[in-house]
Amino acid sequence: MTSCCQPRQDNDQASLPSGKNGGWASLLDKHNRSPLARTARVMLAGLEPGYRLIVQSRNRLFDRGWRSATTLPHPTISIGNLTAGGTGKTPLTIALARKLQAWGHHPAVLLRGYRAAAGRSDEAVELASELGSQVPVQADPDRAAAARRAMQSSLPIDVFLLDDGFQHRRINRDLDLVLIDATRPWGHDHLLPRGLLREPKQNLRRAAAVIVTRADQIDSARLAELDREIESLTGRPVLAHLASRWTGYRSADNQVLPLDLLRHQRVVGFAGLGNPAGFIASLEAHAKEVVKVWSFPDHHPYTQNELRQMFAKAARLGAQAIVTTEKDWSRLPPPEAPPEVACSGATQHAEGCCVPLPPPEMNSRIVQPPALPGGTADLGATQQFRGAKGCCVPPSSSPLPLYRAVLSLHWLDGQDDLDTLLRSCLEKAQRGIRT
């Protein structure tokens, strides 16, 4: 009887997320009526008043001048939000840095670097990759220290961008931009940990301007209602509306591929984002069929075992490609040596296929494995057989291509108004008028 090879078992048996909703964050949604979600919301609600007190006390210290803030030596522009999770801060920071460069300025980006290791984080990696060597990117919870390091570069830095700076009140800013995600503007209407609000929405009045992101993902009536609510909180109309759109894909060797690449393909996706809804919607819009999406917690550090499980599951589902985001790509572990696979009988494992072992005289030689059923996957690597007992090592490269989506911002309106605001901020700083 023919039997298939069984993969070596790892000690770190990871469990992949079961759905699209991003782990614990889905429990906060009042529409999730599962017993677990209801229980979690009740328990977390008991912690919300304590968090509110801490936030209000801290803000009061700065509002009344009892705690001082540092003024950086150059104009400082903050790009922040009101909720935990993604609202598009990093893409807007990249766009502003490029705009400032086009105007002849030399910006530096300062960010906290959530879960940063050795001064690097997923946001820092993405920013540095997109902006190149002409824009210093410094990740440090102490933004003043980050600014000092940026100033030590050979570049004539003349403006600072604070990525995720709204709650970082230890640094004064000349312009405070706050992003609101149209698909989840108020973080389930509760402060952390019961909801996703980092501070009460009434604190939007500190912002110089509010920009609504993912504005194309809700209907016009809901968008108009959100705009009115924001204006009632800030006393100013919304400055601009943004849409995030995919423009293509990057391959493992960093080639940019066209957006219609997956139009006739079955795909799976994975992402660790604060709000994965935009990623999922875009993936469904641009692929023939999305057979599975794994949604991990925000800033999730991936393991080799999780990757092996996802690729194996994708192959079993008949997927032809795997798609993720640029941030998630930066959190993938480095390539490892392929694990040994124990073969039994006269068969060996070739990415899910059982094929005859080569005769003994071919042991320790390199041979080409057969194509997968249906011919949809290109192994792109040879198979090496080891030992007289039929142990083998699968190909080091995956039979499924892994792409990350190329994201760009599209201004629905308000770009000229933002330009005017930026120029005014920079001109005031040149005249010595700082906040």
pLDDT digits (tens, 9 = 90+) for 249-298: 999 999 999 999 999 999 999 999 888 888 999 999 999 999 999 999 88
**Total domains present in the chain:** 3
Residues 229 and 348 in one domain: no
The range of the structural domain enclosing residue 113 comes to: 48-239+414-430
Residues 73 and 150 in one domain: yes
What is the structure's pLDDT at 102? 98
Alpha carbon 337 to chain centroid, angstroms: 27
Q: Quick: pLDDT tens for 242-251.
A: 999 999 999 9
Q: Could you tell me the end-to-end alpha-carbon distance of the chain, in angstroms, rounded to an integer?
A: 79
* CB-based contact 38:134 (threshold 8 Å): no
What is the structure's pLDDT at 335? 72
Q: Quick: pLDDT tens for 147-163.
A: 999 999 999 999 999 99
Residue 36 lies in a domain: no
Q: Quick: pLDDT tens for 101-142.
A: 999 999 999 999 875 444 467 889 899 999 999 999 999 999
- Does this model's pTM top 0.85? My answer is no
Residues 80 and 171 in one domain: yes
Kindly report the CATH number assigned to the domain that includes residue 56: 3.40.50.300
Residues 180 and 269 in one domain: no
Residues 17 and 77 in one domain: no
- Confidence class of residue 27 from pLDDT cuts 50, 70 and 90? confident
Q: What's the chain's Rg over C-alpha atoms?
A: 25
pLDDT higher than threshold 70 for residue 13:
no
Residue 372 lies in a domain: no
Residue 254 lies in a domain: yes
Kindly report the CATH number assigned to the domain that includes residue 274: 3.40.50
Residue 60 lies in a domain: yes
Residue 375 lies in a domain: no
Residues 310 and 353 in one domain: no
Q: Considering Cα of 116, then 117, then 122, then 123, what sign does the dihedral take? A: positive
Residues 64 and 105 in one domain: yes
Residue 210 lies in a domain: yes
Q: What is the mean pLDDT of residues 81-87?
A: 90
Residues 310 and 284 in one domain: yes
Residues 127 and 231 in one domain: yes
Please give the torsion angle defined by the CA atoms of residues 29, 33, 39 and 40, in that order, rounded to the nearest 10 degrees: -20
Residues 305 and 158 in one domain: no
Could you give the strand order of the β-sheet that contains 341-342, starting from the edge strand earlier in sequence? Answer: 6-7, 341-342, 391-393, 383-386, 366-367
Q: Quick: pLDDT tens for 349-406.
A: 444 443 444 445 434 333 333 343 333 333 333 333 333 333 333 444 457 999 999 9
Residues 125 and 208 in one domain: yes
Alpha carbon 225 to chain centroid, angstroms: 28
pLDDT higher than threshold 50 for residue 41:
yes
Residue 7 lies in a domain: no
pLDDT cut 70: percent of the chain above it: 79
What is the structure's pLDDT at 21? 56
Any idea which of 63-72, 110-119, 269-278, 301-310 has the lowest mean pLDDT? 110-119
Residues 353 and 310 in one domain: no
Residue 354 lies in a domain: yes
- Confidence class of residue 86 from pLDDT cuts 50, 70 and 90? confident
